[in-house]
Structure 1
Amino acid sequence: MGEFTVTGLRVVREAARTGSFTRAAERLGYTQSAVSRQITLMEQAAGHPLFDRQARGVRPTEACRIVLRHADTVLDSLDTAREELRNPQPPSRIRVGAFSTATAALIPRAITIAAQQHPSLQVRLREGLTPGLLSGITRGRIDMAVLSGDVEAPPGVEVSPLLMDSLHMAVHTTHPLAAHTRLSPTALRNERWIVGSEDPRTTLLGMWAHAGWQPHIAYVARDWVAKLGLVAAGLGVTLVPGLAVPALPATVSVILVDDPAAVRLTVLAYRRGESGDAHPFAEALQESAAQLTAELRVRLRN
């Protein structure tokens, strides 16, 4: 069995991304025969075929997906090493994890703010769920994480509040309720809901389970883009946190859910003893949160 090589891993990754050996060769500046040769060597190293050859391109096999997971780690580390070698004074670096809706506006704005105030600070972003992100902190894989909900911090992890986020109903701009700025949960009971799960307790709908009514679920879509696409097509309504409102398309209106339970806490988690809440990026997160909160108030008034 042969050995994996950096060149071979890059070729495999590009072929998987493009679905074509020819396009991979064009993007990498190699000849097609060189790409084919590298793929053959990587398949020998893996001991399995990495691609299903088809009439109109190639498709990664399950073995290829395993190789790709590790290839990303190896190649990203090498790219980081190159960056450090180009600069005799390596820039400071922070590895940040976040839940999906925080990456819609809160995190990007914080990165922009941090870049303006601390040009040498580089941010590495990882999206994930709370258990995985907390594990990443305890294992030293990330430095801090933006999490949703009342988080129970494991040993060695500190948690500090970032903001209390309001929940909103997203509707098409032509929806009969679109003219409202706020509504109680009772006013929403007859709507067709687009949710992430058939079980309301596992979605944001569970935030007011005490309302005494079960939502009529029209569509289940786990991905936020899919949910908003269905809303934008006028096929139902969904709930969005305030953090996601600035990223909504123009065809979607938002209505504040007027209920004490229709909020969720957003927190910052970091390793104990490292003053994570005083880090420059934590300060940028706080500034970003303040900006988004102010803009949300203006949007709801208008």
Structure 2
Amino acid sequence: MPNTNAFDTAALRLFHEVAGSGSFTAAAELLGYTQSAVSRRIAALERAAGGPLFERLPRGVRLTSAGHLLHRHAAEVLDRLDQAGEELIALHRGSGGTLRVGSFATANADLLPTTLKRFAERRPAIDLRLIEGLSPHLIERLHAGALDMAVISDYLTTPPGELRLIPLLADRLLVALPRDHALAGEDEVDLRDLAQESWIEAAPRGQPTLLLAACSAAGFTPRGGLRVAEWSGKFGFVAAGLGVTLVPELAARAVPPSIVLRRLRGRMPARTVYAVLPEPALPAATELAGMLGEWEACTTATRT
């Protein structure tokens, strides 16, 4: 019975060269072996395969039926290994391979798409994979080795496990109003002027949010209204005149034309957005983190 454990890479590569050249001597010269060493290695491979792989001819050798079968599989295995080697080189150079990026939902409205478009134009050979999730879950995936980098928010202390935190931007709050709201024509809105409004919220009651922090800083507790989990859903309720809400500036691009966004007057709470990288990080992940840090400047330049 064949002993496939003996089909190591070096033996298969030697076998492949003998099959291709039809000569022990030619394969020995190509790979830097002696002819006797080649003969011994092929004989050992034939014992492992359970029978002859080559017919010995007066001048050279040729494959037997068993040899043809093994050669077909050996060629596929060696080709895959060579391909893996090339991809690993490209991965560690930052010019190829797969880059697994995690991100929280709001960053996928503009920050990630516009930056990944620039990155893909610069590194077209890199296969990008995006995983969306809450920031704590993305940190867990980084620790587990399931991500190469992540974009998170409000993680204000360096996570354990040799992860590197790179601040990207401060995500300010805007207020979303129906277009027919009395304050919709203002450039800036004082949050205190909205104290009597119904507020569309996302989090369960009692959970700390930026909305509660902002209203507390303005001196009032927001009147509870409808609770909607997703930002896109909140926009629909605001447009229908059922309340107002606060929107992270990162989500501004996703806001429909049926509502308006206005800046808030005074100092308002903001969340910090970070890129998080393992140590050591892939060169492509480090490059993408740098491009994410350029997003605000690129966005400003595009708008002006």
TM-score w.r.t. structure 1 length?
Answer: 0.64
Distance 1:186 1:293 in 2: 29
Q: Does 1:238 align with 2:253?
A: no
Q: Does 1:139 align with 2:144?
A: yes
Q: Which runs of 5+ in 2 are unaligned?
A: 1-79, 88-95
1:172 paired residue number: 178
Q: Does 1:190 align with 2:201?
A: no
Distance 1:160 1:154 in 2: 15
3-state SS of 2:152 partner: strand
Q: Does 1:105 align with 2:110?
A: yes
Bigger Cα Rg: 2
3-state SS of 1:142 partner: coil
Taking structure 1 as reference, are residues 262 and 247 closer, same or farther at Cα in structure 2, changes over 3 Å only?
Answer: same
2:118 maps to a residue whose letter is I
3-state SS of 1:262 partner: coil
Distance 1:294 1:263 in 2: 23
1:37 paired residue number: none
Alignment root-mean-square deviation, CA: 2.6
Which residue, out of 227, 240, 247, partners 1:220? 227
Distance 1:223 1:295 in 2: 28
Question: What displacement does 1:155 show?
Answer: 2.5
Distance 1:162 1:185 in 2: 26
Asked if the contact 1:114–1:121 (Cα under 8 Å) also holds between the matched residues in 2, the reply is no
Q: Which segment drifts farther, 150-159 or 117-126? A: 150-159
3-state SS of 1:279 partner: helix
Which residue, out of 189, 200, 203, partners 2:209? 203
TM-score w.r.t. structure 2 length?
Answer: 0.64
Which residue, out of 274, 277, 289, partners 1:267? 274
> 1:232-280: CA deviations, max 9, x gaps?
2221111111111012111111011223233221111111332779722
2:126 maps to a residue whose letter is L
Taking structure 1 as reference, are residues 200 and 256 closer, same or farther at Cα in structure 2, changes over 3 Å only?
Answer: farther
Distance 2:252 2:294 in 1: 17
In the alignment of these two chains, the number of paired residues is 213
1:157 maps to a residue whose letter is L
2:35 paired residue number: none
